[in-house]
């Protein structure tokens, strides 16, 4: 296992989150003076997704804005991050923020967890403790590392192009090495799933195996031989990219333009993000059926206070459609396709890229943000997937 040098260790600094009272007062003042459009012209009685056909319904937005201004407590989330353990280090000239929770268990395996957009480290904050120090002594335990992507949260904003998924994956290997984790397992969803795929494909000497809720087969595969369900998955994914991915095209082509609204208007930022939590969650109507209002506001407020609406959007500019068609993952891989995720890859397609699938799961509930929607199931599924990965690894993790 890689042991960090004193110089490397010195480069890892403890970090505490603390927004100024001035910034929080400014947020509340902006919320109080927000200019809102008229109501949408599609109507339906809740619950029902048709209410969201033009985006976030006005009535829902007004309710959330009022709570954000008068009831929400950012300080409790800051305290939660500090309790988990926050650090920063500089890699390739860019400051990287991360959560790091070491397990008390001697047999724990290092686990790197990567979030996506429009989430943040808030995606995993409710599962870190249970993964690091499980109540069940027979459950596997992990030293958990959750970095903030470049341009997200308390990581620095890249000032030049180039910070795409390949460079981020290489930076994550460097980060884990600095923490003394020469080998590790990796998990991710959304952009985190792409980065996890790159980690498994490019760095097999360091990555024992992966678990991902996102899989992408190589381009050009045929639907011949797919089951009816797998064909439906392919059709739904195609429909998503044709009809519901305007946000991605915008951020991939003009992140700066949308960035002005996201950094200047908290209501604009909230609507842009809330729309995705609603559409991509396994719910009938509102994302708050499964995800707490406070946790979504933790995520949105983190974007607001760090002014990262534009810089986070740029990951699409850097990496949209950029996964190397030739990349293959030969480390053990566990894949979970949640039913209401927006992209579900048929297993025959996945097997063309992930060539050692040791566990394939298709849960009955859950969407894109499974760690927030169904956290207990997510932890169980992740443990079982990583246990299968480590068993297939053949003991390399004891190195």
Return the percent helix, strand and coil in the chain, to nearest 5: 45, 15, 40
Judge whether residue 6 has pLDDT over 70: no
Give me the pLDDT at residue 130, please: 97
Judge whether residue 46 has pLDDT over 80: no
Whether the model clears a pTM of 0.75, i.e. scores above it, the answer is: yes
Judge whether residue 9 has pLDDT over 90: no
Q: Tell me the C-alpha distance between 161 and 177, whole Å.
A: 25
Give me the pLDDT at residue 300, please: 98
CA-atom Rg of the chain in angstroms: 20
Q: Tell me the C-alpha distance between 95 and 91, whole Å.
A: 6
Quick one: how many helices (H) and strands (E) in the chain?
Answer: 16, 9
351 Cβ neighbours under 8 A, 6+ residues apart: 357
Instruction: Determine if residue 142 is left, alpha or beta; phi over 0 gives left, psi from -120 to 50 gives alpha, anything else beta.
Output: beta
Average pLDDT estimate for 24-43: 96
In this prediction, residue 395 has a pLDDT band, given cuts at 50, 70 and 90, of low
Give me the pLDDT at residue 260, please: 98
pLDDT > 70 fraction of the chain, expressed in percent and rounded:
96
Give me the pLDDT at residue 50, please: 84
Give me the pLDDT at residue 346, please: 97
Q: List domains and CATH numbers for the chain.
A: 6-34+74-398 (3.40.50.1820)
Judge whether residue 83 has pLDDT over 60: yes
Judge whether residue 73 has pLDDT over 80: yes
In this prediction, residue 29 has a pLDDT band, given cuts at 50, 70 and 90, of very high
Closest by CA to 272, choosing from 232, 235, 313, 227, is: 313
Structure confidence by residue, pLDDT tens digits, 93-124: 999 999 999 999 999 999 999 999 999 999 99
Give me the pLDDT at residue 47, please: 72
Judge whether residue 3 has pLDDT over 60: no
Judge whether residue 187 has pLDDT over 80: yes
Average pLDDT estimate for 156-171: 98
The set of long-range contacts for 25-32, using a CB threshold of 8 Å and a minimum separation of 24, is 27/266, 27/301, 27/304, 27/305, 28/69, 30/265, 30/266, 30/267, 31/65, 31/68, 31/69, 31/266, 31/267, 32/69
In this prediction, residue 172 has a pLDDT band, given cuts at 50, 70 and 90, of very high
Give me the pLDDT at residue 393, please: 74
Cis check: omega of the bond before 260, within 30 degrees of 0:
no
Contact (CB, 8 A) for 316 and 248 = yes
In this prediction, residue 398 has a pLDDT band, given cuts at 50, 70 and 90, of very low
Average pLDDT estimate for 317-325: 93
Q: Tell me the C-alpha distance between 252 and 119, whole Å.
A: 17
pLDDT > 90 fraction of the chain, expressed in percent and rounded:
93
Average pLDDT estimate for 251-273: 98
Question: Which CA distances in Å does 195 have to 62, 102, 307, 371?
Answer: 36, 22, 23, 18
338 Cβ neighbours under 8 A, 6+ residues apart: 213, 282, 344, 363, 365, 366, 367, 368, 370
Average pLDDT estimate for 133-159: 97
Strand partners, 335: 212, 360
Give me the pLDDT at residue 322, please: 87
Give me the pLDDT at residue 44, please: 74
Q: For the residues of 276-314, what is the DSSP string, one character each?
A: HHHHHSS-SS-GGGTS-HHHHHHHHHHHHHHT-HHHHHH
């Amino acid at each position: 296992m890689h042991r960090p040098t004193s110089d490397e260790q010195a480069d890892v600094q403890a970090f505490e989150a603390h927004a100024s009272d001035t910034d929080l007062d400014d947020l509340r003042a902006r919320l109080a003076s927000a200019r809102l459009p008229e109501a949408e012209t599609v109507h339906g009685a809740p619950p029902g997704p048709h209410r969201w056909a033009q985006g976030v319904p006005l009535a829902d937005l007004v309710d959330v804005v009022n709570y954000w201004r008068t009831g929400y407590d950012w300080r409790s989330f800051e305290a939660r991050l500090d309790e988990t353990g926050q650090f920063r280090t500089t890699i390739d000239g860019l400051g990287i923020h991360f959560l790091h929770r070491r397990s008390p268990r001697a047999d724990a395996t290092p686990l790197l967890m990567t979030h996506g957009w429009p989430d943040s480290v808030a995606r995993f904050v409710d599962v870190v403790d249970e993964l690091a120090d499980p109540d069940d002594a027979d459950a596997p335990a992990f030293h958990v590392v959750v970095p903030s992507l470049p341009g997200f949260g308390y990581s620095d904003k890249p000032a030049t192009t180039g910070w795409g998924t390949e460079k981020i994956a290489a930076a994550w290997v460097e980060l884990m090495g600095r923490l003394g984790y020469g080998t590790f397992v990796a998990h991710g969803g959304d952009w985190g799933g792409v980065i996890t795929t790159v980690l498994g494909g490019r760095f097999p000497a360091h990555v024992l195996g992966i678990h991902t809720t996102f899989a992408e087969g190589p381009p050009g595969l045929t639907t011949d031989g797919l089951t009816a369900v797998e064909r439906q998955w392919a059709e739904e994914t195609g429909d998503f990219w044709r009809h519901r991915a305007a946000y991605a095209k915008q951020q991939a082509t003009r992140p700066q333009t949308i960035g002005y609204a996201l950094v200047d208007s908290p209501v604009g930022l909230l609507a842009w993000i809330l729309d995705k939590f609603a559409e991509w969650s396994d719910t009938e109507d509102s994302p708050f059926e499964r995800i707490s209002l406070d946790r979504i506001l933790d995520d949105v407020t983190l974007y607001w206070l760090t002014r990262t609406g534009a810089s986070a959007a740029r990951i699409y500019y850097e990496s949209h459609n950029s996964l190397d068609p030739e990349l293959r993952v030969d480390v053990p891989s566990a894949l979970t396709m949640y039913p209401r995720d927006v992209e579900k890859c048929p297993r025959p397609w996945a097997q063309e890229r992930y060539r050692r699938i040791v566990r394939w799961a298709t849960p009955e509930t859950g969407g894109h943000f499974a760690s927030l929607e169904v956290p207990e199931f997510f932890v169980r599924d992740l443990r079982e997937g990583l246990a299968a990965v480590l068993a297939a690894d053949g003991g390399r993790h004891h190195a």
